[in-house]
Amino acid sequence: MKASSDMTPTTEKAHSSTDAHIFLLARRPLIEERLGQLVPAETTEPTSVHRAMRWSLFAGGKRFRPTLVLAVGEIFNAKIETLLSTACAFEMIHTYSLIHDDLPSMDDDDLRRGRPTCHIQFGEAVAILAGDALQTLAFQTIAEDDCLDEGVRVRVIIETARAAGTPAGMVAGQSFDLAAESRVIKGEELELIHRYKTGAMITAAARCGAIIGGADEAQLNHVSAYAERLGLLFQITDDLLDVTASVEDLGKTPGKDARAQKATYPALYGLEATRERAQSVYHEACTALDHIEQSTHLLRAIACAVLERRA
């Protein structure tokens, strides 16, 4: 189960990726159940906003960020109960960002995960409010989590907020992404957009799992290095899927980014070089884990699952 075993051929990787899927299958019902408890019921007023929040939260998302909180936390021996609310907070912020990004004035998407987007289903006003309320609920959820010491809650809120906002978080990334749509950008700029738009929250999810598990500063740095590569890998494979996957696999129209002339890795580097880049980023993620004493098999398996994902 040491680092080197994940540097080896595809059969070994297939084994790893299976372990990640098993972990996801085992943890996902717990995440969904807790999310269901944390978000007000559809029958609670204002019903339109709560229905919209749940429409987008329970739309078949992969739960990648909450899974990462759980996986990293468990590696540092945190009890799952101490991780679940923070994990759900990450999913709430991710979902709020999807709702707002899909709006007509932003990416103008009608379809996500095979279903109408929030504003198509509930109207723009309700969608904006549902996104706003999900962000609020995320911070409330962490602050109210009495499984955690107050000092840990504060640290987790700071990590989450910095990764979600500006100048170096998700909102900054979405802003750069929108600004880049109308012009040709280079590879470095594309990487910066992704690092902010999706990478920051993925890194924060991993760090918060480690913080709850009591990781020290050195361990936190290694977790960050792993998660930064994982976030980049996630984005590269996302771009690859946009080119290669079918509409059934994705639940959205493939090739949309390419047609919209959005900068993607395949558009910039070509398909083959992008696949090679994915491989090398995967290995960099695994290398970062070599410095961690604890068994990191699960985190390698997750990186492998991202490398090999088909949706």
Binding region for its own copies (CB under 8 A): 40, 44-46, 48-50, 96, 100, 103, 105-106, 123-126, 128-129, 131-133, 135-137, 139-140, 143-144, 150-151, 153-154, 157-158, 161-162, 164-167, 169, 171-172, 174-176, 178-179
In terms of CB distance, is 30 or 83 closer to its own copies? 83
Q: Closest distance between its own copies and the C-beta of residue 210, in Å?
A: 18
Q: How far is the CB of 47 from its own copies (least distance, A)?
A: 9
- Tell me how far, at minimum, the Cβ of 119 lies from its own copies, in Å: 8
- Give Cβ neighbours of residue 15 (< 8 Å, ≥ 6 apart): none
8 Å CB contact between 196 and 220: no
**Cα(235)–Cα(207) distance, integer angstroms:** 19
Query: How far is it, in rounded angstroms, from Cα 72 to Cα 225?
Result: 13
Taking the complex as a whole, how short is the minimal distance between the CB of residue 229 and its own copies, in angstroms? 24
Cα–Cα distance measured from residue 205 to residue 64, given in angstroms and rounded to the nearest whole number: 9
- Of 136 and 246, the one with the shorter C-beta distance to its own copies is 136
Smaller CB separation from its own copies, 30 or 130: 130
Q: How far is the CB of 122 from its own copies (least distance, A)?
A: 11
Least spacing, CB of residue 170 vs its own copies, in Å: 9
Instruction: Find the shortest distance in angstroms from Cβ 130 to its own copies.
Output: 9
Nearer Cβ to its own copies, position 210 or 250? 210
Burial letters for 186-206: b for 16+ Cβ neighbours within 10 Å, e otherwise?
eeeebebbbbbbbbbbbbbbb
In angstroms, what is the minimal distance from the CB of 8 to its own copies?
Answer: 41
| Nearer residue to its own copies within complex by CB, 9 or 151 | 151
- Is the CB of 156 or the CB of 230 nearer to its own copies? 156
> Which CB, 168 or 267, lies closer to its own copies?
168
- Between 40 and 251, name the residue whose CB sits nearer to its own copies: 40
**Rounded CA gap, 228 and 201, in Å?**
10
